[in-house]
Amino acid sequence: MQTMKKPELLAPAGDFSRLKYAVAYGADAVYIGGEHFSLRTASSNFNSEELQKAVRYAHSHQVKVYCAVNAVPRNAEIEEFPSYLKSLCDAGIDAVIVSDIGLVSMTRELAPEMKIHLSTQANAINYAACNAWYRLGVRRIVLARECSLEEIKEIRANVPEDLELEAFVHGAMCMAYSGRCLISSFMTGRDANRGNCAQPCRWKYAVCEETRPGEYFPLEEGDGGTFLFNSKDLCMIDHIPELCAAGVGSFKIEGRVKTEYYVSCVTNTYRQAIDACFDDIDGYVKRLPVYLEELSKVSHREYSTGFYYGNPLEQGQNYESAGYLREYEVVGLVEGYDSLNRRLIVSQRNKFSAGETLELVEAGRPPVEFSAEVLYNGKGERILSAPHAAMRVEIAYDHYVGGMSFLRKKKY
């Protein structure tokens, strides 16, 4: 690993709060969406003023900001693009992530200094396509998720040295080729290619015979039914050396609509794993079970390695359930520490009680398990439980380091 360049860790940020957590928990760069041309309308996204605030904050922590401009625009929207691009330039965005060839051309013409990253929606899967995009001004390719590690190696060997390669390493997968799904638009009128996917791939399906309308026959492969289009989640935490060896220069975490807790935990785990790979590869290998356990404590579907090892079946069609695995829940956000009385000051998020075993999640550190033996309310009175949303709770705790931290517990 000593001969390789450490990859960039790129985290999602659906709003300013999540951006701050991504930065605190070790991201080298974040990707966000503005009010227009973004494929995640379900996330809060950033208006012009918030964009400037986000960039100032990230840059003050030496973190880059990339803005997704990856929706496929209609004719009527093209006239809006020059002014929108100018607002991104004025905000100081480090790069735009674009899928439409027209917007790539307009960006190069209108803002020649702006770096252009090609969105995974453009499904670049071979070195000829990557070189063609390079000639058009693209300086980073977010590779199609259908690429194998062997294909990435071949791409890296056949493209210019200054063309960066980025790949998803963690998060939700789509059953459609490079996410270009038409099912949502057909069934609900919500266009996935314009940021408004209804996720019909996660629904249950049954067969209805033509001459017997209203009579549904379940497609049963398990007690819960069959989910024909449902994908597992991607997780490559235990394959970091292979990704680096293949030439991936930026590790991308999916999840602009995910919570602060999700962004923090996943970013924190990959940060520790990447650093361990380059500082102590034996330590990385020994800690793999710890990393995998930590990633199991965020909401997720069953994990797979996607297409990286060349087997489409490993992309992970999950026929048993579309539901998430949620074994842990956040019970509070740590908002401060009373060093005199040695107490965590917590804003409650889910009910917990005195005597329960909790875990403290802090940036850059493994989680710490402890028993919350004594609880106090905002008046300093001892209480048996914290049942009210956002109530102030103080918990006796001796060794708090500080920072943007969470308390969680196992649900069952």
> d(Cα 163, Cα 387) in Å, to the nearest integer?
53
Q: Where in the chain are the domains?
A: 8-176+232-310, 328-410
For position 319, what pLDDT does the model report?
A: 47
Q: What is the pLDDT of residue 314?
A: 53
Residue 106: strand, helix, or coil: helix
Provide the pLDDT confidence category of residue 43 given band limits of 50, 70 and 90. low
Q: What is the pLDDT of residues 45-70, one digit of tens each?
A: 798 899 999 999 999 999 999 999 99
Structural Rg of the chain based on CA atoms: 23
Of residues 330 and 178, more confidence is placed in 330
Antiparallel, parallel or unpaired: β 233-235 and 303-304: parallel
pLDDT tier for residue 207 given thresholds of 50, 70 and 90:
confident
**CA 132, CA 134: separation in Å to the nearest integer?**
5
Query: What is the CATH number that goes with domain 8-176+232-310?
Result: 3.20.20.70
Top-confidence residue, 206 or 128: 128
DSSP letter, residue 122: G
| Confidence bin at 388 (pLDDT 50/70/90) | very high
- Average pLDDT in the 138-147 region? 95
Mean pLDDT of the chain: 89
What pLDDT score was predicted for residue 71? 85
Q: pLDDT tens digits, residue range 155-171? A: 999 999 999 999 999 99
Average confidence (pLDDT) over 324-351:
93
> Residue 52: what pLDDT?
96
* Cβ burial, residue 169 (10 Å; 0-12/13-18/19+): buried
* pTM, full prediction: 0.88
Flag whether pLDDT at 411 surpasses 70: yes
Confidence of residue 339 (pLDDT cuts 50, 70, 90): very high
Within 143-300, strands assigned E span 164-171, 206-208, 216-218, 233-235, 250-253
Q: What is the pLDDT of residues 72-112, one digit of tens each?
A: 888 999 999 999 999 999 999 999 999 999 999 999 999 99
| Check whether domain 328-410 has CATH 2.40.30.10, yes or no | yes
Please give the span between the terminal C-alpha atoms of the chain, in angstroms, as a whole number: 40
* 38 band by pLDDT with thresholds 50, 70 and 90: confident
Q: Tell me what pLDDT residue 97 has.
A: 97
Q: How confident is the model at residue 179 (pLDDT cuts 50, 70, 90)?
A: low
Per-residue pLDDT reduced to its tens digit, 5-18? 999 999 999 999 99
- For residue 42, pLDDT over 60 is answered with no
382-395 mean pLDDT: 96
> Do strands 140-142 and 115-118 pair parallel, antiparallel, or not at all (unpaired)?
parallel
